[in-house]
Amino acid sequence: MRLKGGTSLWVGGGLVGLAIAVAVTAPLIQLTDPVMDANLMNAEIPPGLEFPFGTDIQGRDIYSRVVHGARISLTVGIVSQVCNSLIGVTLGLTAGYWGGLWDDLVSGLTNLMLAIPSLVFALAIMAILGPGLVSLLIALGLTSWSYSCRIARAQVLSLKSQGYIQAARILGYGDLRIMFTQVLPNILGPLIVIATLGMGAAILAEASLSFLGLGIRPPYPSWGSMLSEARDQINTAPWLSVFPGLAIFFTVLGLNLLGDGLRDILDPQSQTRRA
Amino acid sequence: MTEPLLQVEDLRIALAGADTTHNAVESVSFEIGRGEAFGLVGESGCGKSITALAIMGLLRRPLSLSGGKIILDGQEIQDATPAQMRDLRGSRIGMIFQEPMTALNPLSPVGRQIAEMFVLHQGANWSEAMDRAEEALRQVRVPSPERRIKDFPHQLSGGMRQRVMIAIALACSPELLIADEPTTALDVTVQAEIIDLMAELCAAKPGGKGGTAILMISHDLGLVANMCKRVAVMYAGRIVEAQVADAIFATPRHPYTQGLVDSLPRLGERARRGQQRLREIAGVVPSIASYPPGCRFNPRCPAVTDVCRSVAPEVTPLPASGIVRCHHHG
Amino acid sequence: MLVVLARRLANVVPTLLAVIALVFLLFSVLPGSFISGMGDDGRTTIDPQVMERMRAEMGLDDPLPTRFGKYVTHLAVGDLGTSFRTREPVTKLIGARVWPSLKLVFAAMTFAICVGVTLGFFAALKPGSLVDTISMVAAISGLSLSQFWFGLMLMYLFALKLQWLPSFGYGDGGLSHIILPAVALGVGPMALLARTTRAAVLDVLNADFVRTARSKGMSERLVVKWHVLRNALVLVITIVGLQFGSLMGAAVVVEKLFSWPGVGSLMVDSVFQRDMPAVQGCILMIVVFFLAINTLVDIAYVVIDPRIRYQ
């Protein structure tokens, strides 16, 4: 989307930077131990001086839990997105490059993946593997590679049609070298954009799965699991739902804005017109 | 001497940049008489297309009309309201564009796109309008017009699409037809047909009203000189020479025009002159933001002197109401 | 035109078969998880002999191709297996839930289209204006929202605090119950539609044929009505079709949040109860629905865009 010029980039970058900073410095800036420090005497206190975000039903400080949750959510986002990109690029690059049966296979697989909503797929995998961080990473890391695959493949095909690859072959370059030195630099831009936006999607997906009780389970303070705990107390302690949700919102907003801003720079062909 | 149909005086078109504003077109003046074919020639980027858009009132941000007068049939229209311009467009001034494929709505049958003119300007209902559209197609010599009116643009060849565009532009018998590079995107064999068609349709009809004047815009000097009575040559936003067509070829006065005429390949000419290579004009057209001071052609001019680099040349009148803008006109 | 249509429809079949195969493989390649999973929740213990009998009953010891064959033949007659939990045919379980899910998804999409396309459209007509900026800020915020969190906030505000709307359940199927879940679900697609419509309309407004239309002396209103709308529509329909997919995913969570008796919440419950046939059935149902929508979108394309008709 178009805010004035590079506003998206700076605001988005700022938000993401803040989220990363919080995640990295979590042990330093949190007030209490987010998992262990549960004092029933402090149960369900609204936000105030001692507990900036209030406390939950077990007397844990919400602020510390949100801060710690940044670690979990960002880790999940980054790891799963890296995984998806690796898979997607490898498959897409090779499919476009070698063509033939392999291309048919990969294209068929991509169509298949796109036919199943990714959250549903992730849910199915979690059903088989059971809840927990590892299965969550597997589920999220294996279900969203279609976009990067498509882009990588399209790019290879476009380069092919322009003769770059044939020229490199004539020069005696080996396949791998061509892929790394010719094709990869060209897809890097759109890939980074997809990865950034995908991270936002991954964080939202993790929140959904944890909310359902299938991802990170309580007492670990992923933002999603905090929301699932908060839901029953919505009437008596609404602040439990507000802060983790806002954390998710601003982080994903930052990633979306950053992705948009990056798209302007790195992927001008997909740019929408300004006026 | 009857009043000219179109008078453009001292036209200036501004291009608004991020920080500064440049004049894309400056001091452009010319006249077109009723029923007369007038040619405007220049390389890409010289401002001829936006001059045409300015006359039609179709300039959009960041371009805008910033000075000068446009007088149609004695009335000034450069400050006309959008509603007044809308009345003019289509009914009194028609326009055809360079790329017929993208200039037609891909989702609408061509017959309907022609019929729109009748519904808009002559209050016809759709059924009448479609009949008249069929007739219009016949007039532009599209075969089987009764079938073609239902076709979509992508089903027609480039030449036929341009005929459709001509049918649209001339549907309401406008007084002026502006043709912006109408044949550039077409095959060479088709170009001549289209030009002939235009000339025929715009000619004065015996016993009827006078013909349609044509403002023919092109980078092809040969094409323009053949069709038009008078020709103006534009360079970097200014008109550098204007003469009767024959004179432009026989006695080009501006070094740029001379370069253009020289670079036209003519059969046997080079052999006669003992030349081996095609002549070209050295250098490239300057961008709007970096117009050179003084005469804008000076970096590329074979006859350049110091005065050219610092002082912009004034307009020098030539016989038969021609003009030239050069310190050293030949 | 019919040829193109038939071709499009034919493309769906291999995808459908592949999905069936995939779902089957996913749930059968780890046979142990089926049975042993049942005893895994720590609360019940199953007699190993009973487990053996169940394995034999479900034919889990047969070779893979045989099992697949049986699975497909069952599917062909609409038999999705028997639920572990309720011992009822899965088809019956899902059957009761299809209509509420469909209602919810369509309500959400209607909301998304009405609000999103309108916003995007007016934003494009006045680019750079206040309307434009506000719409686009709203759009990107909508994309960044966690739909269930948004639903939770809506629930808090409108149902609990203001008490204007019920906070959960299907109720009598009336309007008041569906509003909150539909809005919560629809806000994501709404945002994307707003952005895409804006881009599509801007693209069309700057197109050559619109310039031709203006050169004919048409008022801007007529230009939009006769030339812009249909062309922008083509671009918007793609997004609507694609969005149905992600909507189905998000619907799962929103259904659970609002205790909406749809296929999604059934799926979640079944996952928790390790009711694998039900989970399989739900996934298949969702995918079939998604593919059906995509096919409809394809058909709509062929109807609207004459360029495709004659390929």
Cross-strand bridge partners of residue B8: B30, B70
pLDDT tens digits, A30-43: 777 777 777 777 67
CB contact under 8 A, C209 and B155: no
Q: 């006769």: which residue's tokens?
A: C226
- Distance (Å) of CA B169 to CA B33, B89, B122, B209, C212: 19, 9, 14, 17, 10
CB contact under 8 A, C217 and B87: yes
Query: What value does the mean pLDDT take over residues A120-149?
Result: 85
Which among C139, C145, C152 has CB closest to A249?
C145
- Chains with 3 or more CB pairs under 8 A to chain B: C
Helices (H), A130-216: 133-143, 146-161, 164-170, 175-178, 184-212
pLDDT tens digits, C253-295: 999 888 888 888 888 888 887 777 888 888 888 888 888 888 8
Q: Shortest Cα distance from C253 to chain A (angstroms)?
A: 7
Q: What is the largest distance, in Å, between two alpha-carbon atoms of chain A?
A: 76
Q: What is the pLDDT of residue A251?
A: 92
pLDDT tens digits, B40-91: 998 887 888 999 999 998 988 888 898 899 999 888 888 888 888 888 898 8
**pLDDT surpassing 80 at residue A267:** no
Element (DSSP H or E) covering residue B149: none
Cross-strand bridge partners of residue B214: B37, B177
- Contact indicator for A194, A85 with CB cutoff of 8 Å: yes
- Contact indicator for C128, C202 with CB cutoff of 8 Å: no
Q: What is the pLDDT of residue C39?
A: 47
Give me B289's structure tokens: 């933001």
Q: What is the pLDDT of residue B164?
A: 93
Half-sphere exposure of C98 (CA within 13 A, CB side): 15
Q: Cα(C98)–Cα(C78) distance, rounded to whole angstroms?
A: 15
Half-sphere exposure of C236 (CA within 13 A, CB side): 30
Q: Shortest Cα distance from B70 to chain C (angstroms)?
A: 17
Contacts of A124 in chain C (CB under 8 A): 23, 26, 279, 283
In the sheet that holds B93-96, the strands lie side by side as B93-96, B176-180, B213-218, B37-41, B230-235, B238-244, B322-324, B316-318
What sign has the CA pseudo-torsion B229, B230, B234, B240?
positive
Q: What is the pLDDT of residue C164?
A: 78
**pLDDT band for position C31 (cuts 50, 70, 90):** very low
> How many other C-beta atoms are found inside a 10 Å radius of the C-beta of residue C30?
13
Looking at per-residue pLDDT, the higher value among C167 and B24 belongs to B24
Dihedral pair phi/psi, residue C196, rounded to 5° = -65, -40
**pLDDT band for position C30 (cuts 50, 70, 90):** low
pLDDT tens digits, B132-168: 999 999 989 999 999 999 999 989 988 899 999 999 9
Report helix, strand or coil for B32.
strand
Nearest to A89 by CA among A146, A164, A141: A146
- Distance (Å) of CA B197 to CA A134, B115, B159, B160, B166: 74, 20, 11, 12, 9
Average pLDDT, chain C: 80
Q: What is the pLDDT of residue C44?
A: 55
Interface test with C, best of B105, B112, B150, B162 (most C CBs within 10 A): B105
> How many other C-beta atoms are found inside a 10 Å radius of the C-beta of residue A133?
18
Q: What is the pLDDT of residue C311?
A: 53
Q: Shortest Cα distance from C1 to chain B (angstroms)?
A: 14
> How many other C-beta atoms are found inside a 10 Å radius of the C-beta of residue C128?
13
Q: 């999705």: which residue's tokens?
A: C80
DSSP C59: T
Q: Cα(B313)–Cα(A7) distance, rounded to whole angstroms?
A: 46
Q: Is B168 on the interface with C (CB under 8 A)?
A: yes
> How many other C-beta atoms are found inside a 10 Å radius of the C-beta of residue B47?
25
ipTM exceeding cut-off 0.85 for this assembly: no
Q: 């040829």: which residue's tokens?
A: C3
- Contact indicator for A58, A116 with CB cutoff of 8 Å: no
Average pLDDT, chain A: 82
Q: Cα(C267)–Cα(B285) distance, rounded to whole angstroms?
A: 67
Q: Cα(B41)–Cα(B47) distance, rounded to whole angstroms?
A: 10
- Distance (Å) of CA A17 to CA A9, A177, A241: 11, 35, 24
**pLDDT band for position C51 (cuts 50, 70, 90):** low
pLDDT tens digits, C55-93: 666 666 666 777 777 777 777 777 777 776 677 777 888
Half-sphere exposure of B145 (CA within 13 A, CB side): 19
